[in-house]
């Protein structure tokens, strides 16, 4: 079939590749000059099924209220005169019950873990170089009770999906990652939970590498071309209109991250996705032997650190502040402060590059993957804070659905039409 994939972020590239290996004739359209220049560009680099649980939980509203009083908090909310923001917040609040959490979390973990397996298969099939590290992800807590509480909260859902977790005492944390020794000695790290099968890697570099593989398999990439609208006839998709051309297709996949919302709105479809802005900084390790190799999630301060070759990537903040992607220098500096507070000699702060990105979040945390109401038009979007973690599995799931085959995991929780 002739299929057009809209967007060459991590979701679009993995989708295009999955469809091409099934024999489809695939074209990818992206407004940028190359792959993964949007939200996939400089994310936290974690492949983290162990963290694939909804942000909307019974405790999150209390935490959000507490954080709203502090300028440097991980979360910021600027209420705006924007009905879409209010509608999204209302849906988020409705997902904060224990019942919704218990329903949403398994769907997220199942997709994330399936995705990890799909990523393993891609790595076995191709020589992909993207600073991959398979050392697990260590969540750190200042007090052991917090680690125990977290384990009580997520342990069963991880166990149900074969995601192993190990509780570590402070010495165990420092033994696993010697760069944590000072933080352990000062009492800043009092316990850890290790997810040994989680991994890390540079999503941008991965997308470049996989796009190359996909191009070799026949995928045509049209960069620097902006999608304007979806073309249809009798409620059946016929292609897309870009700022340069008309492209005809039997199937169209919308994988535009945040921009999926506006495109679908032009068809009268309101996707439940709102931008949650985050920041990252990439810091040259600069020969420091005090920079971590194991990826760390600081659970209290809500930031992540990943080693990408000779750089460290730190990422954090969840700002619901509208659609403006501009970098707030104070927020970006906070992210760097977080890194150097935990790892004071990790690298050269003066050469750090800061970045911001818009997580395309659904209120439940579950992405939208599957057929839309229009015949031949599919969605693969709304991956929020877990697009890199879920990309390969989302692509595999959608490719099965487009081919009318039974997917490896139940597609029902991700179906866009019921949402």
Ligand X SMILES: Cc1cc2nc3c(=O)[nH]c(=O)nc-3n(C[C@H](O)[C@H](O)[C@H](O)COP(=O)(O)OP(=O)(O)OC[C@H]3O[C@@H](n4cnc5c(N)ncnc54)[C@H](O)[C@@H]3O)c2cc1C
Q: CB 391 → ligand X: shortest distance, Å?
A: 7
Which residue lies nearer to ligand X by CB, 53 or 174? 53
Identify the residue whose tokens are 């799909």.
Answer: 118
Would you say the C-alpha torsion 263, 265, 270, 273 has a positive or negative sign? positive
- Count of CB atoms situated within 10 Å of the CB of 320: 20
Which residue lies nearer to ligand X by CB, 205 or 381? 381
Contacts with ligand X, residue ranges (CB under 6 A): 7-12, 29-32, 36-40, 43-46, 226-227, 255-257, 259, 278-280, 304, 315, 357, 359-360, 381, 383-389
Token readout for 272 is 């439940």
Which residue lies nearer to ligand X by CB, 32 or 403? 32
- Count of CB atoms situated within 10 Å of the CB of 61: 13
Which residue lies nearer to ligand X by CB, 15 or 170? 15
Report helix angle 203-216 to 10-20, nearest 10. Answer: 30
Identify the residue whose tokens are 């162990």.
Answer: 50
3 state DSSP class of 251: strand
Identify the residue whose tokens are 């099965």.
Answer: 400
Q: Are 358 and 39 in contact (CB under 8 A)?
A: yes
Q: CB 36 → ligand X: shortest distance, Å?
A: 6
Which residue lies nearer to ligand X by CB, 24 or 359? 359
Which residue lies nearer to ligand X by CB, 174 or 227? 227
74-to-25, 58, 303, 335 alpha-carbon distances in Å: 44, 18, 8, 9
């Amino acid at each position: 079939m002739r299929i057009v994939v809209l967007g060459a972020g991590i979701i679009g590239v993995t989708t295009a590749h999955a469809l091409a290996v099934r024999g489809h004739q695939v074209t990818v359209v992206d407004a940028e000059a190359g792959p993964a220049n949007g939200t996939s560009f400089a994310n936290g680099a974690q492949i983290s099924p162990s963290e694939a649980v909804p942000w909307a939980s019974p405790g999150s509203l209390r935490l959000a209220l507490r954080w709203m009083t502090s300028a440097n908090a991980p979360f910021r909310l600027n209420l705006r005169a924007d009905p879409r923001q209010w509608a999204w917040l209302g849906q988020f609040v409705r997902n904060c019950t224990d019942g919704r959490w218990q329903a949403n979390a398994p769907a997220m973990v199942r997709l994330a873990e399936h995705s990890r397996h799909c990523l393993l298969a891609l790595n076995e099939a191709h020589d992909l170089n993207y600073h991959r590290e398979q050392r697990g992800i260590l969540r750190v807590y200042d007090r052991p009770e917090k680690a125990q509480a977290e384990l009580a909260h997520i342990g069963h859902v991880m166990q149900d999906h074969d995601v192993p977790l190990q509780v570590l005492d402070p010495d165990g944390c420092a033994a696993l990652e010697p760069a944590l020794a000072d933080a352990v000695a000062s009492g800043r790290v009092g316990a850890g939970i290790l997810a040994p099968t989680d991994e890390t890697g540079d999503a941008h570099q991965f997308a470049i590498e996989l796009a190359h593989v996909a191009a070799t398999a026949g995928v045509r990439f049209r960069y620097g071309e902006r999608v304007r609208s979806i073309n249809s006839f009798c409620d059946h998709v016929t292609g897309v209109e870009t700022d340069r051309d008309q492209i005809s297709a039997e199937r169209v996949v919308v994988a535009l991250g945040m921009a999926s919302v506006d495109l679908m709105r032009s068809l009268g479809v309101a996707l439940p996705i709102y931008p949650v802005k985050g920041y990252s900084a990439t810091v040259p390790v600069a020969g420091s032997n005090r920079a971590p190799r194991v990826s760390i999630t600081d659970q209290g301060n809500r930031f992540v650190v990943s080693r990408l070759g000779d750089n460290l990537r730190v990422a954090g903040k969840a700002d619901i502040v509208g659609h403006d992607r501009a970098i707030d220098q104070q927020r970006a500096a906070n992210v760097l402060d977080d890194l150097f507070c935990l790892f004071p000699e990790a690298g050269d702060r003066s050469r750090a590059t800061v970045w911001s990105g818009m997580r395309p979040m659904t209120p439940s945390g579950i992405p939208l993957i599957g057929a839309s109401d229009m015949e031949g038009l599919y969605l693969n979007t709304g991956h929020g804070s877990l697009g890199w973690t879920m990309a390969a599995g989302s692509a595999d799931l959608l490719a099965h659905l487009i081919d009318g085959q039974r997917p490896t995991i139940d597609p029902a929780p991700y179906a866009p039409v019921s949402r």
